[in-house]
Structure 1
Amino acid sequence: MTQLNQMGSPQAGAVKRIETPAGTVEYAEDGTGPPVVLLHGLLMDHTVWDDVIPLLPKGFRYIRPVLPLGSHRIPLHEDADLSMDGMVGLVADVLDALDLRDVTLVHSDWGGSLFLTALGRDERVARMVILPCEAFENFPPGLPGKMATLAVRLPGGITLAARQLRIGWLRRLPILWGWMINKPVDNERMRRWTDPVLADPRIRRDVTKYATTSFDPAELVRKTEALRGFDGDVLVLWSPDNRVMPPAHGPRLAELAPRGRYAEIPGAAVLSMLDEPEAVAREIGAFLTATASRG
């Protein structure tokens, strides 16, 4: 079992900025060593990983970019391409801008970055950890995803949805966050995640660009199945009891990857890093140290 350690640095988690062709992207950084890039989903930011980061092993550089999915604080360029392919390209551009190599990329909730291989932009990625996320034809995912897509297409809908997320009993409804997490989300964290989209029309513009992308199910499946061409180690760390990302998708993803392995986080919903941070940190930590020891 992997030894889990506190990071211990007074500068841990400091937010920095990097320039990409689409605009300025913020990111948090902890530790030094081989890079581990942890992603997030719609209407949340890098702080979704706050409970896990202190539990991960030392000797790695943990980087958490803030994607333009509604909780980012710096709007991107007005002409930035934030369609699905544009968002996938932005992830690759962040890796390029930071000049990261031999990256372990951690996917969660938002599944677009699984398409880096399909788009030929995975040259900096050596390993993957895939937590419950969109995959195959499940874009947008389940009931919450479909309701979010509907909200952004209605006048004032995204503002209304963000305000509803700030009310505890509404937040727990299945059409909002009730199926995303089993534990309560504290009000301070949810205010942080919804402040930008409520305060700045340019943030609403950015997230609307992505959320109004038209998805072709056959194309989504094809791009997901391109993972057959990814030859790095892959850990699929699924929550089998969640009701948004199909349980069958976890083993299916692990089977796609030539060097894939499947593991489960029982008792967690989609956001397993919030429901079971110790278990998530233990599994990711063991994967990181095992693959690092193989060189």
Structure 2
Amino acid sequence: MKIADLGDINLHYREDGDPSGAPVVFSNSLGTDLRLWDKIVPLLPAGLRLIRYDKRGHGLSDATPAPYSMGTLVRDAERLLDHLQVKDCVFVGLSIGGMIAQGLAVKRLDLVRGLVLSNTAAKVGQPEMWNDRIAAVHAAGIEPLADGIMERWFSKPFRQTAEFAAWRNMLIRQTVDGYAGCSGAISGTDLFTPTSGLRLPTLGIAGSEDGSTPPDLVKETVDLIPGSQFHLIRKAGHLPCVEQPEEYARVLSAFLKEVGHV
């Protein structure tokens, strides 16, 4: 286990692949940890430096008191990459990870040479919805919300598999501060204007059955960046890297080759 001591927080991260290779950084969704990418990592081209981390309040990283701001989460990613001496990475962000990706590219273009915005948007939901969810989590924990969240995360066939139970368990075992804190960060974020100013290679990925960030919402954000690409993965919900890992890895690998990262 690797921990980056950033002073006010300890972030858990993992590296795979070639330490001297071109870096690809993965940032995961609300309610998951870095195991979100387990199926993808072995399918990517050899020679890459693959970095995953648990954002604040998730996995094995510290859970500081809620609420968090998106600026804090972006700064965590920025400091982690500086700590690891990463430059010119392709940053792959899913859901809130995709919001962090947008914010990081706007703030530190020296760190990011390409974006993969997966199942995300410049703005997700309305503050009232997030405030209700935060209040519910503080009152009774994540468990009462889990079934509704799982319906938005996964297609119906996947919810019948044995693996599905592990993802539900991962969700409900996240900390209340981490889940509520990151929910607050999403609630207060609207990246339409800064993201529309970005000029770098960008790939958008959506799942046809995604109930959290539907394909049209993802495409609307990706289209803010001139020259961007968009790919729809069918028979997958909010986490297509879990449900359709071969297609996800194939599309990601093609993008990495196209931008000269492989």
Using structure 1 for the length normalisation, give the TM-score. Answer: 0.75
**Structure 1 position 181 matched with structure 2 position 154:** yes
Over aligned residue pairs, what C-alpha RMSD do you find? 2.8
Alignment partners' CA distance in 1, 2:137 and 2:95: 25
Q: Does 1:162 align with 2:111?
A: no
Q: Which of 74, 77, 95 is the equivalent residue of 2:81? A: 95
* Equivalent residue letter for 2:56: P
**CA positional deviation for 1:260:** 1.0
Q: Report the alpha carbon displacement of residue 112 of structure 1 after superposing the two structures with TM.
A: 2.5
Aligned to 2:198: 230
Question: Contact 1:102–1:125 (CA<8 Å) still a contact in 2?
Answer: yes
1:262 CA displacement: 1.6
- Determine which structure has more spread, i.e. the larger CA radius of gyration: 1
Superposition deviation, residue 196 in structure 1: 4.7
C-alpha separation between the residues in 1 aligned to 2:238 and 2:187? Answer: 21
Question: Once the two structures are superposed, what CA deviation does each residue of 1:46-67 show, in whole Å capped at 9, x if it has no partner?
Answer: 1011111111111111111101
Aligned equivalents of 1:66, 1:178: Cα separation in 2:
23
In structure 1, runs of 5+ residues without a counterpart are: 1-14, 166-170, 198-203
Q: How do 1:1-295 and structure 2 match up within 5 A? A: 15-32=1-18, 33-69=21-57, 71-76=58-63, 82-110=68-96, 111-113=98-100, 114-118=102-106, 120-133=107-120, 135-139=121-125, 146=129, 149-154=131-136, 156-157=138-139, 159=141, 161-162=142-143, 165=146, 171=147, 175-182=148-155, 183-184=158-159, 185-197=163-175, 204-213=176-185, 215=187, 220=190, 223-292=191-260
How many residues align? The count is 253
Aligned-residue offset at 1:164: 6.1
Any idea what the Cα deviations from partners look like across 1:155-199, whole Å, max 9, x if unmatched?
Answer: 74352x23664xxxxx3xxx22102111134334443443352xx
Asked if the contact 1:35–1:102 (Cα under 8 Å) also holds between the matched residues in 2, the reply is yes
TM-score w.r.t. length of structure 2? 0.84
C-alpha distance 227-86 of structure 1, shift in aligned 2 (>3 A) = same
SS in 1 for 2:255: helix
Letter in 2 for 1:18: A
Counterpart Cα distance in 2 of 1:193 and 1:281 = 23
Q: CA deviation at 1:248?
A: 2.0
What secondary structure, in the 3-state scheme, does the structure 2 residue paired with 1:259 have?
Answer: coil
Change (3 A) 1:176 1:242: closer
Once the two structures are superposed, residues 69-122 of structure 1 have per-residue CA deviations (whole angstroms, 9 ceiling, x without a partner) of: 4x32342556x982222112211121111110111000112142122244x233
Contact 1:22/1:76 (<8 A) preserved: no
The whole-number CA distance in structure 1 between the counterparts of 2:61 and 2:47 is 30
CA distance in 2, matches of 1:214, 1:61: 29
Distance 1:251 1:106 in 2: 16
Q: What SS does structure 2 have at the residue aligned with 1:251? A: helix
Q: CA deviation at 1:23?
A: 0.8
| Percentage of pairs with the same residue | 21
- Is contact 2:25-2:50 (8 Å) kept? yes
